[in-house]
Amino acid sequence: MRVKHWLLILITSAAFIVISGCSEELETASFPDFVVDAVHPGAMAAYEYATTHGEHLEYIPCYCNCLLEPFYHKNTKDCFINSQQSIKDDIVYDPHGAG
């Protein structure tokens, strides 16, 4: 019985270490305050998705009229990432997606 108990603890601990080490979530410290402090519950997840899968959002038009002045967004990705100011890995986030 003691062997099964310790084996269960060992397997559970190993699984926890593997799962926590495989997390691909972005750290909240990498986002500006307007993202971290956003009142919309899905804002952080939306910015994370735009950061990791922005190429998908380039094909989705935005329907909130942000293609007009003063935003001039071309697609949904532009609501989260400022494509005019971002350079490769230096991402400049747009506050429009935070609400």
What three-state secondary structure class fits 62?
coil
Residues 6+ positions from 39 with CB-CB distance below 8 Å: 99
Q: Whats the size of the chain, residue-wise?
A: 99
Average pLDDT over residues 66-82: 80
What three-state secondary structure class fits 24?
coil
pTM above 0.75? no
Burial class (CB within 10 angstroms; exposed 0-12, middle 13-18, buried 19+) of 89: exposed
Q: What is the pLDDT of residues 49-69, one digit of tens each?
A: 999 998 999 998 887 777 667
Distances (CA, A) of 84 to 65, 79, 92: 18, 12, 9
